[in-house]
A and B are shown apart, each in its own frame.
Chain A
Amino acid sequence: MMKASIGQGILSIPPDRKICNQLKLSGAETEGSALRYDDSSFWQDTLRKMNNTIMRFMETIELINSAVSGKELPTNTDLEQILFSFAESMNGLLSACNRACNENDMATGNGSGGVQDNLLKLRGILISVLKMQESSGEEISVNLKSIGVKLINDASLVIDKRTVRDAISSRGGEVIKAVKTIVSSLFEAMPLCIDPNSGNLVNVRRKLEENDGNHSEVTAALTERLEKERCELMEKLRITELLIAHSNQFLDNLKLSAGFFPIIHSLYDSSGHGL
């Protein structure tokens, strides 16, 4: 589906990230050989599916990255299809994470708690990348939302076909830029690739940030956004507390002026209008 449509517009797979053509050779895509477990209990089966889902996702963004990485896109590249494939792949991974996290059997399986934690964190990483896209509108000229790809309820990407088509036809360059930005953010946040020899999913360790433990750009941006959100909420809370204090004071003064009216509520309807 995605491979057929995007593949026609794709030039070649970068040699340093040679995963795609090895995926089928490894058998991981169909056989789940990336997970080397003999035990076939239910939660391990779920893990195998997750593993393959992640690999397919990485494969998709590799393909998309290849498709948009050149200075000029090949004429037969279908940007709309690329966006659809991206959303479809992202939704598949998000829903797989949610499903796997909700499996009761996983919760009782040996080591399953760690797996669920990992899946939750993976989901958090994906959401944070998508949210960063939404919040970094000033830094990049366009984000996914503005080209018709919206994150709904932190659960799935929804595509507004009309907006996407308009964006592609009127500002295709910006659409490509947005796709490039999110793909590079995903690579940064998910440094995964598939070992071409074994077909196993490999976590590529980073060297630059090993010592100081600094957060990646993605998590730093997310933290900043959350801190800002918290500050705004704190300020609102402060104002609300102040308003409550003033209203209480005003109410006391009114009661002092008029005396106490125990049946006063019966004089008005629920909206406060006099009867």
Chain B
Amino acid sequence: MKEFFRLTRNALDTDNDETFLHSLIQRNALFGALEQFSSCLSQGFIEKMIFLEEMIIERLKTERKRMIKDIDEVSRKISTVKAYSALFPIPSMPAFFDLTG
């Protein structure tokens, strides 16, 4: 229980995205154990956990949005790179290059 709570706090306290995800991945393994003790949890503790969990979910959703944006950006770059041709790294442009040479 303490470990679960510690990992949750670690995740929320860090500004590093990697650490955030790493803490949550570690925490994920403890969900099962936590359920076994759920009947013993005090009302106050559950209230606090609910609040923390909502913050976790909110940040995860923000991360997800950022990742989708990053993936989109990388995909766009890949398309651009693939559009390059070794034959004409810079497309022919009469105003730019003299192709008669």
B101–A195 contact, CB under 8 A?
Answer: yes
Interface of A is mostly: helix
> B90 touching A203 by the CB < 8 A rule?
yes
B67 within 8 A of A: yes
A137 within 8 A of B: no
Kindly state whether residue B1 has any CB partner on chain A within 8 Å: no
**For the complex, would chain B's binding face be called helix, strand, loop or mixed by DSSP majority?**
helix
Q: Closest Cβ of chain B: how far from A61's Cβ, in Å?
A: 15
By the criterion CB–CB under 8 Å, are A267 and B84 in contact?
no
Return the CB mask of B49-92 against A: 1 if under 8 Å, else 0: 11111111100110110011011001101101110111111111
Residue on A with the closest CB to B4?
A250
| Tally of chain A residues near chain B (CB < 8 A) | 73
Digit string of B4-46 for contact with A (CB within 8 Å is 1, else 0)? 0000010010000000010011001001001100110101001
Q: Is A227 an interface residue (CB 8 A)?
A: yes
Q: How large is the interface on B (under 10, 10 to 19, 20 to 34, 35 or more residues)?
A: 35 or more
- Given A51-B96, A111-B95, A128-B81: A258 and B57 interface contact (C-beta under 8 Å): no
Q: What residues on B are CB-neighbors of A234 within 8 Å?
A: 71
Bound: A212/B46 CA distance, A:
64
B71-A227 in contact (CB<8A): no
Q: Is A5 an interface residue (CB 8 A)?
A: no
Indicate whether A233 sits within 8 Å of B86 (C-beta atoms), given known contacts A226-B78, A251-B50. Answer: no
A213 to B47, CA, bound (A): 62
Q: Are A272 and B81 in contact (CB under 8 A)?
A: no
B67 touches A240 (CB 8 A): yes
**Which residues on B are within 8 Å of A, measured CB to CB?**
9, 12, 21, 24-25, 28, 31, 34-35, 38-39, 41, 43, 46-57, 60-61, 63-64, 67-68, 70-71, 74-75, 77-78, 80-82, 84-93, 95-101
The chain A residues found within 8 Å of chain B, CB to CB, are 34-37, 44, 47, 50-51, 111, 114-115, 117-118, 121-122, 124-125, 128, 189-193, 195, 198, 200-206, 209-210, 213-216, 219, 222-223, 226-227, 229-230, 233-234, 236-237, 239-244, 246-248, 250-251, 253-255, 257-258, 261, 264-265, 267-268, 271-272, 274
